[in-house]
Copies of this chain bind each other. A is one copy, B any other.
Amino acid sequence: MMSFEPLTPTAFLTRAAAAHADRTAVVDGDLRFTYEQFHERSARLAGALAPLADGRPVAVLAANTHQMLEAHFGVPWAGVPLVTINTRLSASEIGYILRHSRASVLIHDAAFDDTVAELPDLPVRIRTDDDYETRLDAARPLARGVDDERGLLSINYTSGTTGRPKGVMYHHRGAYLQALAMVGHTGLSPDSVHLWTLPMFHCNGWCFPWAVTAAAATHVCLPKVDPAIAWDLIRTEGVTHLEGAPTVLSMLGHAPQATPLPHPVRLATGGAPPTPTILRHMEGLGFDVTHLYGLTETYGPAMICDWRPEWNSADADTRARLKARQGVGNLIACTPRVVRTDGSDVPADGTTVGEIALRGNNLMLGYLDDPEATAAAAPDGWFRTGDLGVIHPDGYVELRDRSKDVIISGGENIASVEVEQVIAEHPAVLEVAVVAAPDERWGEVPAAYVALHAGATASADDIIEHVKARIARFKAPRSVVFGELPKTSTGKVQKYLLRKESHDRP
């Protein structure tokens, strides 16, 4: 059995510490740790946690800091699952996750002291300051191996559109392979510098804590997406890679600090469909944008709009339109399918809508303590994403709408994403969301919610006429509401709030 080693993403830190010991692994404010130090600190964290955790998960409520990175290695090395918690949740939501996951230890930033004070008693709370450092100093390094590569690595709670969040269980093998796919697709290498604009609490940061380490690149922490700080770090640290939801792209791309990049930066975006407009804008600044698609259940990006060099010669609009598609399976995933409700494949004609179904080693083990939801999620072995889409003749999948989001107006289906893309092209528009509003005559009509660029102006009629001039008139919104869009902590527009608003409106 000399040729069998269980796959675990923590092995990437072991390798990096051996191969790149004295190179910079982590930059966090004024702190800098080498790979040897990052390894040592993570192993000491494991040593400190193992006796406290007693086989139960360790939860972390922290920003994108070096402690959060250390937890991605130290907690598995303590032999227990990692539970990273969305920092924008309420105390009652956090309490639910801690109880549901049976977490034994909560590591948290001082910024969450008030929230933590409201939580029911936990055996151990560790604050990421002197407390954390004292415990590391006192601990002996530990790096427990993995017996079963499909053992539980982490539990990531979905924001859940209905009811309680579900605990998505990741295994070591899946995260290992997903991390290798991210290395391959984003070209991470030892001279890469990765800026943490994506929350690590979200799908374990799409497995980038492990991918960046695998490549022995440098992690640059960013506790909060402040565009001024982000732009400063891009320039001073020589950032080459970052990721984020389209919202993050908007924040960065339209910040006052935004100027053409001094060096190439690869930017991966996903979590919500980016509009061709924002893709074009970011490319104009010099970002090399990769569009990814996935869910918590798929360790983040299971699909990639794998860029074909032949498309480089297309005009900017065509390129942006092609890039707005969700694409094909990633390196290690099975080929995605688009299926009808009976599980059969829709034709690859770019028009027949079905549900996107995924499969592969980068699918979760299931939902913690919820065998029914687990079984329902993949009735025939293919995970149903809940997202509707089409397959184009070239094999690329494109989202048409969330299944619950379809606007049916006078018997015609309207894809809200299509209307959104057109509105986003209006020069005054920063962000847009379109939902269905009830209508006595048509059943439903599109309702638009628009955030304008700072200082820009546009009327509802301007927006409506803009749409009518470009696509079928029946797809134009009947109402336009201006203002900031409500968003989840991960930057997704909370359409259900807009839908509720549009329903309640007289």
Contact = CB atoms under 8 A, between A and B. Distances in A.
A331 B5 contact: no
Interface stretch (A118-126, A357-365, A493-501): A357-365
B214 A306 contact: no
A365 B15 CA distance: 23
Contacts of A329: 15, 18-19
Contacts of A216: 306
A310 B214 CA distance: 18
A334 B19 contact: no
A3 B363 contact: yes
A180 interface: yes
Given A2-B383, A15-B331, A360-B5, A21 B306 contact: no
Contact of A190 (B15, B19, B189, B306): B306
A189 B191 contact: no
A328 B381 contact: no
Nearest to A14: B335
Nearest to A3: B363
A29 B155 CA distance: 52
Given A171-B3, A174-B3, A20 B184 contact: no
7 contacts: A1-B381, A20-B395, A22-B394, A23-B310, A177-B180, A180-B180, A184-B214
A2 B381 contact: yes
Given A4-B361, A7-B361, A12-B331, 4 more contacts: A5-B359, A15-B335, A19-B335, A190-B308
Interface in A378-405: 378, 381-383, 394-395
Contacts of A361: 3-5, 7
Contacts of A187: 187, 189
A188 B189 CA distance: 12
Contacts of A506: none
Contacts of A327: 19
A18 B171 contact: no
Given A359-B2, A382-B2, A383-B2, A395 B19 contact: yes
Copies of this chain, count: 2
8 nearest A-B pairs in the assembled complex, by CB-CB distance = A19-B328, A191-B309, A3-B363, A18-B335, A2-B378, A183-B184, A2-B381, A180-B180
A243 to B, nearest CB: 17
A33 interface: no
A215 interface: yes
Contacts of A359: 2, 5
Interface in A446-503: none
A15 to B, nearest CB: 6
A96 interface: no
A23 B184 contact: no
Contacts of A171: 3
Contacts of A3: 150, 171, 174, 360-365
A362 B4 CA distance: 8
Interface in A169-227: 171, 174, 177, 180-181, 183-184, 187-191, 214-216
A359 B21 CA distance: 20
A307 interface: yes
Interface in A5-56: 5, 7, 12, 14-15, 18-23
